[in-house]
Every structure is written in structure tokens, then in C-alpha cells.
Structure 1
């Protein structure tokens, strides 16, 4: 029964995560409510997301909806940002990290209301001072804290007039970069409960693939409302956890 439940959790989290980021809204709290120890829950989530994000990226890459060059830019920048964030996190309190998360997500939400960024462009992702520093900052935030980093990436790609399915592919690369290093850490420290992690991974792969199929058919006018809804839910969840 537990195996099936974790397949469903993995499916739901990665389905939402593929479309707009924020899949952790579903998977992590549900695993904790189910009684999984916090380190095991985070580790399982990281391992499952590493695999599911990579498989979904491959599908988009094979269809030539994303290039190797821009994928490499996102991968390297997010890895460097994540590594830096991991080091910075040791110098900051948990309360400070929570406030940083609320500020970043709140800023992204307000900016999305002020700017008309709707994934209708056809641009490739180009590295410049603005995009590089933004992506590095998101990777750094992911290394420090994490919740909502995928959603923040989507806002960045929308601002660069990148088509939605391309943004989804780049987002999957960023998620892979953010989860890969931490997965190795959790595996090496023996925090992984493998039967449930494999179930989560299996559901995550299916959820990500279904998410890609839905993403290709989504009307762009629904994407920003979805992003904003996910952002508000993330802010509420983080605030509630902060006051707990």
C-alpha cells in the first residue's frame, strides 16, 4: 500500500513541477504527514527529482525543442549557484533563509503582475549579465533553501520571451542540477529509504512525462495564472512553516 501511495505522490508532484515548478508543494509535505523522517523525505524527493527531471529533459531535447548549448548554460550556472548557496546556508539561520524565500517569491509574483511575460516568444536562452546573475541567484537560493526555485526559473524564462515548452525543458535542466549534488550527499549518508524512494521515482517519471504532453497542449493564457497560483501557495506554505 505504501509503495502505491508514494507512486501517486511522485506522479502528482512531478506533474505540477513540470508545468510550473513548485512540485515540492505536494510531495514533501505529504511524505512528512505520512510519517517519513524529514531527512529521508527530503532525500527521497531529491533522488526522485534528479531522475524524473533528467528523463523529461531528454524527451524535450530529442524533439529539438531545446538546444544543447542553452541546456549546458543552465546546467553549469545552476550547479555553481547551488554549490555557492550550500556554503552560504551554513552562515545563515533558518529564519533568515525563510525570509529570503518569502521575499524572492513575493517579488516574482508582483513582477509577474506588472510585466506582460506570457511565454509567447521564440527566443533561445542567452547568457548575459542579467540572465546569468538571475539564474546563478536562483541556483544559489536552491542550494540554500530550495522551495520554489523551479517556479522562479519559469518567471525568468518568461521574461526572456522564451516559448513555454522550451522553458519547461530548461527548468527540468535546472531542477536536475539542483538535485543531483544533494542526492549524492543523502545517498552517501544513508538517509535514503530505497523502496519508497524507488516508488516516488517511478511515479515521478510518469508524472513528468504526462506533464510534458499536457504542456505541449496548454494555452499560454493559462500559464501565468497557474504560475501565480503556485507562487501564492508556496508563500503560504513557507509562512505557515515559519510560524510553526
Structure 2
């Protein structure tokens, strides 16, 4: 029964995560409720996200929605940001990490309200100070804490006037990059419970394919309300974790 539940949890979490980020809001608490040890639950998330995010990027690449030429540099920037975040995490208290997480998400929410635009831009993704610094900073945040990484990236690509469907593809590529190192680490430490992880991964790959197909048909004016809803949900979850 746990395998079936994890499969459907993977579908739901990754479909939502592909569209607006925040899939971990669903998958991680659900796995903990099912009794998985916390490190094994995180490991399952990282392994499944690595595979599912790459599968969704490849789908969009084959559909010619994104190009590797435009986005190859995302991988080293996100990976180096994640490594930097992991190093910084060892020197920052959990209390400060919660404050950073809430502060970033609230800031992103406010910017989305103040700034016009709805991810309907048509600008190419270029290597610039803003794009590199933004992706590197979010990579650090992912290495430090994690929840809301995909949502923050969608806000960044919206700020850079990238069209939504391309932004989804590039977020998935960045997620693959940041999760790959973590997945390898968890595998090497033996934290992965493979039967449960594979069940979640199969659901996540299915959810990723559903998500990119919905994203390709989603009208840009509906994106920001979904992003804002996920942002509020993330802030509430992080706040409750800090309080409880």
C-alpha cells in the first residue's frame, strides 16, 4: 500500500512543483506521515527530483521549447550555488535559516505584486550579472534550506522577462543540477530506501510529464496567482515548522 501511495504522492507533488514550485510541500510531509525516517525521506525527494526534473527538461527540449545552447550555463552556476549553500549551512543556525527562507519568499511575493508582468515575456536567457547572481543566490538558498527553490526561480525568470514555458524548462534543469550532488551524497551514505524511493520516483516522472504538458497550455495570466498561492503556502509551512 505504501508503494501505491508514494506513486500517487509523486504524481501530485511533481505536477504542482513543475507548474509553480513547492512540490516538497506535499511529498516530504506525506513521507514522514507514512513513517519514513527524515533523512530517507529527503533522500527519496532528491533522487526522484533528479530524475523527474531532467525528464521534463528533455521533453521541453525535444519540443523545441528550450535550447541547451541558451541554458547550459545554468548547470554549473546552480551546482556551485548548492555547494556553497551546503558549506554556509554548517555555519548558520537553524533559527537564522528559517528567517532567511521566510524573508526571501516574502520579498519575492512583494516583488511579484509590485512589478507588472506575468511570465509572458519573449526575451532570451542571457548570461548577465542579474541572471548569474540570481541563480547562484537561489542555488545557495537551495543548499542552505531548499523549500521554495523552484518558486523563487520562476520569480527570477519572470523578472528577466522569460516566457513561462521556457522558464519551467530552465527551472527543471537547475533543479536537476542542484539535486544531483545531493542525491549522490545520500546514496553514498546509504540513506536511500530503494523500494520506496523508486515508487516515489516513478510517480514523480509521471507528474513531471503531466506538469510540462499543462504548463505548455497554461495561459500566462494564470501563472502569477498560482505562484503567489504557492508562496503563501510555503511561508505558512516554514513558519509553522519554526513555531512547532
TM-score range, shorter-chain basis?
over 0.9
Partner of 1:188: 188
Displacement of 1:231 in angstroms is 0.3
**Backbone CA RMSD of aligned residues:** 0.7
Displacement of 1:117 in angstroms is 2.3
Whether 1:222 aligns to 2:222 is: yes
Q: Is the CA contact (8 Å cut-off) linking 2:47 and 2:183 kept in structure 1?
A: yes
> Separation in 2 of the partners of 1:55 and 1:227?
22
Whether 1:232 aligns to 2:232 is: yes
Instruction: Specify the SS of the correspondent of 2:72.
Output: helix
> Separation in 2 of the partners of 1:193 and 1:33?
16
Displacement of 1:131 in angstroms is 1.5
> Separation in 2 of the partners of 1:162 and 1:128?
14
Partner of 1:13: 13
> Separation in 2 of the partners of 1:211 and 1:227?
14
Give the aligned length. Answer: 244
> Separation in 2 of the partners of 1:199 and 1:124?
37
TM-score when scaled to structure 1?
Answer: 0.98
Displacement of 1:49 in angstroms is 0.4
* Structure 1 residues without counterparts, runs of 5 or longer: none
> Separation in 2 of the partners of 1:53 and 1:176?
5
Deviations 1:187-206 (A, max 9, x none): 00000110010000000000
Range moving further from structure 2, 65-74 or 156-165? 65-74
> Separation in 1 of the partners of 2:76 and 2:118?
26
Displacement of 1:71 in angstroms is 2.1
Displacement of 1:228 in angstroms is 0.2
Range moving further from structure 2, 145-154 or 61-70? 61-70
> Separation in 1 of the partners of 2:117 and 2:148?
18
Displacement of 1:69 in angstroms is 2.3
> Separation in 2 of the partners of 1:71 and 1:193?
33
Whether 1:151 aligns to 2:157 is: no
Where in structure 2 are the equivalents of 1:199-218 lying within 5 Å?
199-218=199-218
Deviations 1:21-56 (A, max 9, x none): 111011001111111110000000000000000011
Partner of 1:65: 65
Q: Is the CA contact (8 Å cut-off) linking 2:2 and 2:34 kept in structure 1?
A: no
Partner of 2:25: 25
Moved over 3 A (4+): none
Displacement of 1:67 in angstroms is 1.3
Partner of 1:174: 174
* Structure 2 residues without counterparts, runs of 5 or longer: none
Displacement of 1:65 in angstroms is 1.0
> Separation in 2 of the partners of 1:232 and 1:69?
34
